[in-house]
Structure 1
Amino acid sequence: MTTAHGTVVEGFESVREEFASFVAAEAHDPGAQLVVYADGKRVVDLVSSPDIAADSLLGVFSSTKGAAHLVVALLVQDAILDLDREVAYYWPEFAAEGKGAITLRELLAHQAGVVGVDGGFSPAEIADDRALAARLAGQRPYWRPGAGFGYHAFVIGALTGEVVFRATGRTLHEWYEERIRAPYGLDFFLGLPESEEPRFLTTLPMLPTPSQQAEIDAAPWANPNSIGGISFNAPRGLDLAEFPNDRAVRAAGQSSAGGIASARGLAGLYQAAVFGLADRPPLLKPDVLAEFARPHSIGTDLSSGQPQYFALGFHAMSLKFPSLAAGAFGHSGAAGSQALADPVTGFAYGYARRRYAYPGGSAPENTRFLAATARAITARR
């Protein structure tokens, strides 16, 4: 039977109990990791079975976007990028097909309408941010920019990364390694070195029930020619669960969905961003943090057809999880990962799982784990 392993500090036993209850009830080991930082310390560090270690590395899919857009936030903080400049100011080719007025702010808020390209991307292109950007520059938006918003699932990191490259002459990956990952010692890679490959565990496929499979088959992105289908590269038949299992994807570190991390790395990223980590100060100043965490796009997502809440490059997390305070921000990933910080309550959180969770995106158990965490922290005050 699957059981919970790991440690919690005094006062967080209820989080362990919630995690243990979840993994014991699962028919198949999810291969889960859960980490929480509070008061500058790692207070929760749990794994679901002996088959996964606390330092195992997993594909974290769209939780990657949090790492990518922390770079953008830092460059805004440094006055290298301006949120209200047109994207084409930095990247002139992007102005093609009526995109010249789109600002960096609108792009980060998923309002640009450039969710993919007609006919989709090849497997080689989908792993390569610069190749994606070259194709996207000439694409006509799928809705009038600013008229609505929709998840730019596989391309937002390529789009914002190209802005970074054009403005600085350096890739988003180079900035991330130099300013964030290496200084803070994070197990969260945008481009997994060969030396770290032995720690990587392949993503395992979802095991849906028949009724769940029927819902998946009827989802908006199941039609390859719909906005949702284009956003998830359905015209080229992408198997999302297999995406991080390709060494080329892991090596390239595609900055929308190609990140490789542990839950320690996910939580550590947000701990470093908001509170500081490893005796180093917080990465973000309060005004920049508040601007990037503030909701910008609220309503029905044109890609998924579901309610969604985007900040700038991140999700506005308190609108999804009622246990969180206003200003909580982060990003989820398709297999079930979730990473965030709640600056008001005072914690950073990372969850990753090896087996793809139904229905995709933030796994449902995160609601329970986050509520238990928030209660434990409040009780300590």
Structure 2
Amino acid sequence: MTVHGFTTAEFAPLRAAFEDCFALGQHGGSVAVVHRGALVVELWGGSADAAATRAWQQDTLVNVWSCTKGIAAVAMAMLVDRGLVDYDQPMARYWPEFAAGGKGDITLGEALSHQGGLDGLSVPMDLAGLYAGAPYAQALAAMAPLWPPRSRSVYHAISLGALVAEPLRRVSGQGFGRFLATEIAAPLGADMFVGLPEAEEARVAEVIEGRGVMDGIREVLGSAHPNAWENPTIRPVEPNTRAWRAAEIPGANGQATAKALALIYGDLVSGASRLLSPAALAEATKVRFQGVDAAHGGEAAYGAGFGLMQQGARAGSFGHSGWGGCFGFADPGAGFGMGYTTNHMLGFDDDIDPRRKLLVECVYSVLDGLK
């Protein structure tokens, strides 16, 4: 498999690691690393479609699923930094309708750390309602919590997007897609969209459902907290539709390159961030929940929308992985941001994607050798 792109001399081992990912189940993909504010790795290769008729290009976009949540967390932290919202204030202060159903005291920080009892809707909702945005947000605002807030954390697979987008819209006057484009992507030259313009469709890779992708979802559906994957039900290949890509779902439908994720996370830990002050980053990434997720039974740690220390990343790291394999995160202590995208969704019994394990361990090995 031909791999394209570059690495600096120090990061040359990552090329071999990325090549090895194809043997582990990588149809097409890309990896990028920004270290101390400089792009040191950008590699890509494989095919952008299942039939292998389109080569993965430098600018190939792909649905990154919940990696989008990490960028939504960045957007909310920017609003906090500007004094427009406060994690410790009730969500209803910014979204008055949210107070319905006994939710008036749920804080923004509690909602963003999956502790608000709103892992999904308690009423029927079809994909059209999710895509339209307003019907989904209105149903979420009207419902009562599905469990006592603050009593546990249950992953908000789709609803977290509305819990960011709605207060953001009300205090900034912008939809999430517009905010991402103008306030995050443009300043950094990061190639990422939520609400993909039709003109960009030709660049998007086809998502491929691989082995084991639904295993974790079935586990959640069989638990006491199935709502995250109901109302509506979302198939792994839903991102192959124009309707999905055109919608704004800040918890799940970002279209991005690996470089875009690396640029955003790399900026945050560069020492001279164009997005966030050090104080705002510290507030966004402090631990708000650490323990066992009540739905899937695995260990979880969350800041204000960020996943903390996920899958092989070291203490102090923050970011978010995506269903099936994509990931983006930053390690402030090591001074790097990293992104990985793939169109080949896979699931694993121990919840550790060997592609991620290989790439992340390689980066840390290189950095440890530079000390």
* Common topology (TM > 0.5): yes
CA contact (8 A) 1:115 1:155 kept: yes
1:312 to 304, 310, 331: 304
Indicate how the Cα distance of structure 1 residues 348 and 69 shifts in structure 2: closer, same or farther if over 3 A, else same: same
Give, in angstroms, the shift of residue 100 of structure 1. 0.8
Aligned to 2:5: 6
1:378 to 351, 368, 371: 368
CA contact (8 A) 1:231 1:303 kept: no
Q: Distance in 2 between matches of 1:19 and 1:140?
A: 46
Aligned to 2:252: 257
Q: Distance in 2 between matches of 1:366 and 1:294?
A: 24
Give, in angstroms, the shift of residue 195 of structure 1. 1.6
Aligned to 1:366: 356
Give, in angstroms, the shift of residue 3 of structure 1. 4.8
Aligned to 1:242: 237
Indicate how the Cα distance of structure 1 residues 237 and 65 shifts in structure 2: closer, same or farther if over 3 A, else same: closer
Aligned to 2:221: 222
Indicate how the Cα distance of structure 1 residues 185 and 121 shifts in structure 2: closer, same or farther if over 3 A, else same: same
Q: Name the % identity.
A: 33
Aligned to 1:300: 292
Give, in angstroms, the shift of residue 250 of structure 1. 1.1
Indicate how the Cα distance of structure 1 residues 102 and 216 shifts in structure 2: closer, same or farther if over 3 A, else same: closer
- Most deviating of 264-273 and 132-141: 264-273
Give, in angstroms, the shift of residue 362 of structure 1. 7.1
2:323 equivalent to 1:334: yes
Give the aligned residue type for 2:5: G
2:278 equivalent to 1:286: yes
Q: Distance in 1 between matches of 2:325 and 2:82?
A: 33
CA contact (8 A) 2:88 2:109 kept: yes
Aligned to 2:35: 38
Deviations 1:76-99 (A, max 9, x none): 001110111111111121111111
Q: Distance in 2 between matches of 1:31 and 1:293?
A: 31
What SS does the aligned partner of 2:77 have?
helix
What SS does the aligned partner of 1:68 have?
helix
Give the aligned residue type for 2:260: G
Give, in angstroms, the shift of residue 161 of structure 1. 1.4
- Most deviating of 52-61 and 303-312: 303-312
Indicate how the Cα distance of structure 1 residues 340 and 62 shifts in structure 2: closer, same or farther if over 3 A, else same: same
Indicate how the Cα distance of structure 1 residues 137 and 186 shifts in structure 2: closer, same or farther if over 3 A, else same: same
- Most deviating of 337-346 and 289-298: 289-298
What SS does the aligned partner of 1:48 have?
strand
Give the aligned residue type for 1:334: W
Give the aligned residue type for 2:253: G
Give the aligned residue type for 1:374: Y
Q: How do 1:24-173 residues align onto structure 2 when only pairs under 5 Å count?
A: 25-26=23-24, 29-49=26-46, 51-173=55-177
CA contact (8 A) 2:35 2:270 kept: no
Q: Distance in 1 between matches of 2:176 and 2:234?
A: 25
Q: Distance in 1 between matches of 2:232 and 2:156?
A: 16
2:262 equivalent to 1:271: no
CA contact (8 A) 1:129 1:157 kept: no
CA contact (8 A) 1:128 1:254 kept: no
Give, in angstroms, the shift of residue 329 of structure 1. 0.7
Q: How do 1:336-351 residues align onto structure 2 when only pairs under 5 Å count?
A: 336-351=325-340
Aligned length: 363
CA contact (8 A) 2:269 2:336 kept: no
- Most deviating of 360-369 and 42-51: 360-369
Aligned to 2:21: 22
- Most deviating of 72-81 and 190-199: 190-199
Q: Distance in 1 between matches of 2:299 and 2:186?
A: 36
Give the aligned residue type for 1:221: V
Give, in angstroms, the shift of residue 29 of structure 1. 4.1
Indicate how the Cα distance of structure 1 residues 147 and 216 shifts in structure 2: closer, same or farther if over 3 A, else same: closer
Q: Gaps spanning 5+ residues in structure 1: where?
A: none
Give, in angstroms, the shift of residue 236 of structure 1. 4.3
1:231 to 228, 235, 243: 228
Indicate how the Cα distance of structure 1 residues 203 and 378 shifts in structure 2: closer, same or farther if over 3 A, else same: same
- Most deviating of 44-53 and 258-267: 44-53
Give, in angstroms, the shift of residue 65 of structure 1. 1.0
Give the aligned residue type for 1:265: A
CA contact (8 A) 2:66 2:157 kept: yes
Give, in angstroms, the shift of residue 104 of structure 1. 0.6
Deviations 1:279-337 (A, max 9, x none): x84311111111211221111112322211111101012x642x52x321101111211
Give the aligned residue type for 2:64: V
What SS does the aligned partner of 2:66 have?
helix
Give, in angstroms, the shift of residue 246 of structure 1. 1.8
Q: Distance in 2 between matches of 1:54 and 1:132?
A: 35
Q: TM-score, normalised by structure 2?
A: 0.91
Give the aligned residue type for 2:211: L
Deviations 1:240-291 (A, max 9, x none): x122212122112311101100111111121233327xxx843111111112
